[in-house]
Amino acid sequence: MITIKEVGPAHFEMLAELGRKAFYEAFSEHNDPDDMQAYLDLAFNPETIKKQLEDPGVTYLVAYWKDLPVGYAKLKQSDVPEKLAGKSAIQLERIYALQEFVGKKVGKALMEACIRIAKTNNYEAMWLGVWQQNERAISFYKKWGFIVIGTKQFIIGKDVNDDFVMSLDLNQNGTAKL
């Protein structure tokens, strides 16, 4: 059974380790090892995660399988993409499951919780960036009603990755067609 919990600063070490492992599993084969290591050291540094957890504009959710953390999501108040100008929108900056738990409804449980939080806080839209070559993730987001509204770049060391920017209208959608 999957349980979703919002976590705070006391969980920074667990979250840094979980985030590092999930990102590495998802993208290490597509990136230069040195670039990947540098990105992991920067993005998943425990002190960086602790500061994010202390930020009232950031919400971290962790998915637990029994008592084991197996996935997480990060919601963040941020500047909105141009196509969402004038709307109250929140960014789904990260949503990952450990590789051995992909396909076991961890992502579904995390997305349901993210949408619930966004709607409870009266956001009109949720947006995210997803690597254009990550067909599995794009398909997952489309099932939830996300649509492509633009592009942006995501840089890992020397690698410049082209991402789609996708958004979900929370007034009309927010339930998966799974």
Quote the CA–CA distance of 177 and 106 in Å, as a whole number.
16
Q: What is the pLDDT of residues 25-52, one digit of tens each?
A: 998 888 889 999 999 999 999 999 999 9
Confidence of residue 165 (pLDDT cuts 50, 70, 90): very high
Angle at the Cα of 122 from the Cα atoms of 118 and 93, rounded to 5 degrees: 30
Quote the CA–CA distance of 63 and 3 in Å, as a whole number.
6
Provide the sign of the torsion angle of the four alpha carbons 104, 105, 109, 114, taken in this order. Answer: positive
For the cut 70, the answer to whether the pLDDT of residue 83 exceeds it is yes
pLDDT averaged over the chain? 93
The gap from C-alpha 105 to its chain's centroid, in whole angstroms, comes to 15
**φ, ψ for residue 6 (rounded to 5)?**
-75, 135
For domain 2-169, the question of CATH label 3.40.630.30 is answered with: yes
